Structures are given as structure tokens and as C-alpha cells.
């Protein structure tokens, strides 16, 4: 980390490849003192002037008194943070602590730390001068706000102490950076429509299979094994035979969130600014996962890119925390990075899962993936994550070329809808209700073979 984030000359970074030298070295102040004392003594002896010798005596005595007790150990620098769960826009608190394990106090300690640009800390990225007594410690508070999701560094930090009246200084002491995890802000999301395929054993979704549940499926004759509380007495008295109320079972469903990371578009301004494709993708995935996990469904995540990371389906709060940790490592593929063509077998898509593909539809391979999922019979919903006014980055787009690119992209969206791929722009709560309703209707319709 010290090679990647170099500190300024005020607190230089120690090079790990060099052989370690003495912990304490002389300063220019000591050099000037020795030079001035020696020069005055030489001139006094050469010229026979006692006043020059007497004038050099305070410098020699002061240096001797200052060096009578020399420090043996260097200061210890640590970075601590009490914030374990930080959300975008929340406060971040860290402390830079300098400890003096020696019996000699430090006259001055200059400390400096680097921080990520997505951590707006008030007192970071500037040198601080503090004094640390013998066998004591001092701390510099670093407080501010987290501007964007991800794993951000507080540090590395370096310190350089001066002792013996500024005649000695220690070599820079560098401590590694502290990793601060900032979780994405979950936008309000809710979907009231039924899932297209509820195939689990228990859950909150109405299925098409008979069983114990709250949805009435009809009235049928009594059979051995039926519960007495299910008897419909009105129908039984009218027909003179026992009849029971049949219900549909409540089951859980599997939701696969497929994140398109083939490319990035737009400029990220943090939680207070504009959102890029990755910002919309990560925040939307966190909101959708939170909604369905609260309903007891199984949620899994997978990247569509070179890394092809995958998170296995599970339920509960533990899975939600795992999803948030998994989303912190989402990165877009480099433009020159070759991505192999994915197949459905590599994507691990269940036949009964609802596949929500969060994609900006910038790369042609994204449209091919959606078409392939739909043709294979998966319940697929495409969530458009391209911000308004954004286009592909790192390309010399002129206004006319950008307009042509958008027209071509609208044609791709139209062809996807013609082939039965629902595409809807991400807009938070309620934005997917109409699409999920249509998908549920298609799932309940009979299928031909």
C-alpha cells in the first residue's frame, strides 16, 4: 500500500527494499551546532581571542546537555476505527494514535495520513505536529462522511519524531492503511406482485400447487387426512357429504440478480452527486435483495463479466449482510480486457428462478445474454441501469455520434421487447410491479411442447 499511495516530503515513506539503518539520525540543527562550535574554537585558537572560545562554549554545553539522554526506540503509529457498519452518507470516525514506548519524551512528532477520495475527512491529508511524553501517547481524530460505497483506505500513515531539543530525529515510521467498508445506500423498493415460479417448500408467495396456505383454491370432497377445521359446513349440509376448502400452498422463490459489469458509463459523484452505471447497479441490487430476503425468498448474485463471481442462494439476515459484503467488490471490466463468452451452464441459472439482469445495455453481449436467457425459458427481467445523459466512457464521442448511438440502443431495446424480454428502467419502489405482473401471467399460462 505504501508503494501505491506515497506520502509527501513532509513525512517520507520508508522504502522496504533498502537495508534498515539506525533508528535515530542527526538533524541539520546538530550539524550546524557542531560546525559553528568548531569554527569558533579554531578561530579563537588561531587568532588568540578568548572571546570567540567563550562564545562557542554555550553551543557545546547545550548540545552536550541535549544529548545526555538519547532515545532508543521509535514511536508506534496505529490507525483505529470504531465504525464497523458505515452506509453511504454516514459519518466515519477514525483515530491516528502515536505511542512513545521510550523513557525519553519526544519534542515534536509530525504525522500525516492519506485517505481515499471517497472519504471526506475534515483533518486528513495534512501534517500534524504533536508532542508525546515519555511512556505516553497522543491521538489525532479523523472524522467526516463517506461519499460512496466500496472498500476505502484510511492511510497509510507516517510519523517522524524529533528529540533531544531537535538534535536527533527518527526515520519515518509507516503504518499500513485501515480498510473501511462503506455499504451502499439501499433505495426504497417494494414489489407487491406474485413471483412467477414459487418452487420452495415454505414461504410467502402463492404457488400453483395445492397445500396448506391462505389462498382459497376451491371446494372438494373430504378425503382421509384432511383437517377438520377445513370442513366447509355450508356445502356439506347442502350436499349431505363432507366437503373441505382447498387452498394453495405458500412457497418461497429464488431470485437471481445478474450484474452486468462488462463496462462502465457515466461519472460517479458519490451519494450527493450523479450516479454511474455501477452506482445504480449496486444500489439497486442491494435494495432488491433486501426486499426479497425480508419476504423469506432465496437470493443469489452473479457477475456477467471476466471475473464471473457468484454468490450462492440463501435466505435470512445473514445472507443480506453477505450480499452487502459481496457488492463491495463489484468492479467494471477494463476496456481492453478480453471477456470469454458465457453460457447458461456457467451462469448457474435455475429453471425456476426469477432472473433480474441489471444492465446498461451498452455492450452487444448483454443483449445476446438476455435473448439467450429468454429463449431457454427462464423468467427474465432486464433492469436498465444507464443514467440519463450518460454514454460509454473513454471514447471520442461527438454529439452526433452519441445521438446515433442512442438511436441504435433504442432499436436494441425494441427488438428485445419484441422477443419477449421485458426491459424497465430502475426507478426504485414500484418500478418493477408492472413487469413482474406480466411475467407472472406468462408463467401461469399453459406451455406448449
CATH number at residue 322: 3.40.50
Within-domain flag for 193: no
Based on the domain organization, do 134 and 275 belong to the same domain?
Answer: no
Based on the domain organization, do 221 and 288 belong to the same domain?
Answer: no
Based on the domain organization, do 354 and 395 belong to the same domain?
Answer: yes
pTM to 2 decimal places: 0.73
Within-domain flag for 336: yes
Based on the domain organization, do 53 and 134 belong to the same domain?
Answer: no
**pLDDT tens for residues 98-120?**
999 988 889 899 999 988 889 98
Chain-centroid distance of CA 264 in Å reads 16
Based on the domain organization, do 245 and 258 belong to the same domain?
Answer: no
Based on the domain organization, do 79 and 133 belong to the same domain?
Answer: yes
| CATH (domain of 156) | 2.60.40.10
Q: How far is CA 170 from CA 32, 96, 167, 174, in A?
A: 18, 18, 10, 12
Total domains in the fold of the chain: 4
- Please identify, among 66, 90, 119, the residue that sits at the C-terminal boundary of a domain: 66
Q: Which H or E element spans position 317?
A: helix 316-327
Based on the domain organization, do 85 and 106 belong to the same domain?
Answer: yes
Within-domain flag for 423: yes
Based on the domain organization, do 315 and 361 belong to the same domain?
Answer: yes
Within-domain flag for 57: yes
- Please identify, among 251, 285, 310, the residue that sits at the C-terminal boundary of a domain: 251
Q: At what angle do helices 399-418 and 364-375 cross, to 10 degrees?
A: 0
Within-domain flag for 363: yes
Give the whole-angstrom CA distance, residue 359 versus residue 439. 19
Based on the domain organization, do 289 and 432 belong to the same domain?
Answer: yes
- Please identify, among 196, 227, 251, the residue that sits at the C-terminal boundary of a domain: 251
Based on the domain organization, do 247 and 351 belong to the same domain?
Answer: no
- Smallest CA-to-CA distance from 323 within 272, 366, 287 is with 287
374, 348 contact by CB (below 8 A): no
Ranges 21-25, 227-231, 366-370, most confident: 366-370
Evaluate if residue 210 carries a pLDDT over 80.
no
**pLDDT tens for residues 15-56?**
444 445 678 888 888 888 888 888 888 888 888 888 888 888
Tell me which of 348 and 316 has the higher pLDDT: 316
Hey, is 180 helix, strand or coil?
strand
Based on the domain organization, do 235 and 347 belong to the same domain?
Answer: no
319, 299 contact by CB (below 8 A): yes
In percent, the amount of the chain with pLDDT more than 90 equals: 16
Within-domain flag for 404: yes
Within-domain flag for 197: no
| Residue 221 belongs to domain spanning | 205-251
Based on the domain organization, do 264 and 405 belong to the same domain?
Answer: yes
Within-domain flag for 415: yes
Q: Which residues contact 388 (CB under 8 A, 6 or more apart)?
A: none
Amino acid at each position: 500500500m505504501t508503494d501505491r499511495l506515497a506520502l509527501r516530503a513532509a513525512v517520507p515513506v520508508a522504502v522496504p527494499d533498502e537495508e534498515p539503518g539506525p533508528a535515530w539520525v542527526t538533524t541539520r540543527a546538530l550539524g550546524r551546532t557542531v560546525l559553528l562550535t568548531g569554527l569558533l574554537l579554531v578561530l579563537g585558537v588561531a587568532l588568540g581571542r578568548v572571546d570567540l572560545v567563550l562564545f562557542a562554549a554555550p553551543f557545546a554545553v547545550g548540545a552536550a546537555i541535549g544529548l545526555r539522554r538519547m532515545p532508543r526506540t521509535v514511536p508506534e503509529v496505529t490507525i483505529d476505527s470504531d465504525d464497523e457498519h458505515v452506509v453511504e452518507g454516514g459519518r466515519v470516525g477514525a483515530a491516528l494514535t502515536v505511542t512513545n514506548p521510550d523513557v525519553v519524551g519526544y519534542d515534536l512528532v509530525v504525522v500525516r495520513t492519506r485517505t481515499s477520495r471517497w472519504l471526506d475527512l475534515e483533518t486528513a491529508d495534512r501534517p500534524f505536529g504533536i508532542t508525546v511524553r515519555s511512556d505516553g501517547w497522543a491521538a489525532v481524530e479523523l472524522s467526516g462522511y463517506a461519499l460512496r460505497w466500496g472498500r476505502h483506505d484510511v492511510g497509510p500513515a507516517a510519523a517522524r519524531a524529533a528529540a533531544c531539543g531537535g538534535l536527533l530525529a527518527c526515520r519515518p515510521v509507516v503504518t499500513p492503511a485501515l480498510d473501511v467498508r462503506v455499504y451502499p445506500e439501499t433505495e426504497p423498493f417494494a414489489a407487491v406482485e406474485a413471483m412467477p415460479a414459487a418452487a420452495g417448500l415454505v414461504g410467502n408467495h402463492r404457488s400453483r400447487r395445492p397445500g396448506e396456505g391462505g389462498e382459497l383454491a376451491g371446494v372438494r370432497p373430504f378425503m382421509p387426512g384432511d383437517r377438520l377445521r377445513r370442513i366447509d359446513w355450508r356445502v356439506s349440509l347442502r350436499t349431505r357429504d363432507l366437503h373441505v376448502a382447498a387452498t394453495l400452498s405458500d412457497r418461497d422463490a429464488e431470485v437471481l440478480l445478474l450484474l452486468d459489469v462488462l463496462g462502465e458509463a457515466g461519472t460517479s459523484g458519490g451519494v450527493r452527486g450523479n450516479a454511474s452505471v455501477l452506482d445504480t447497479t449496486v444500489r439497486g441490487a442491494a435494495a432488491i435483495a433486501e426486499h426479497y430476503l425480508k419476504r423469506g425468498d432465496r437470493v443469489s448474485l452473479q457477475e456477467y463479466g471476466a471475473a464471473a463471481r457468484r454468490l450462492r442462494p440463501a435466505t435470512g439476515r445473514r445472507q443480506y449482510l453477505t450480499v452487502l459484503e459481496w457488492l463491495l467488490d463489484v468492479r467494471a471490466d477494463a476496456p481492453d480486457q478480453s471477456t470469454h463468452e458465457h453460457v447458461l451452464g456457467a451462469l448457474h441459472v435455475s429453471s425456476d428462478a426469477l432472473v433480474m439482469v441489471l444492465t446498461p445495455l451498452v455492450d452487444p453481449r448483454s443483449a445476446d445474454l438476455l435473448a439467450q436467457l429468454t429463449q431457454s425459458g427462464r423468467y427474465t427481467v432486464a433492469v436498465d441501469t444507464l443514467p440519463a445523459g450518460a454514454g460509454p466512457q473513454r471514447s471520442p464521442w461527438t454529439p452526433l455520434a452519441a445521438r446515433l448511438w442512442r438511436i441504435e440502443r433504442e432499436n436494441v431495446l425494441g427488438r428485445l421487447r419484441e422477443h419477449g424480454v421485458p426491459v424497465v428502467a430502475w426507478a426504485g419502489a414500484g418500478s418493477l410491479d408492472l413487469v413482474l405482473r406480466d411475467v407472472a401471467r406468462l408463467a401461469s399460462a399453459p406451455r406448449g411442447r
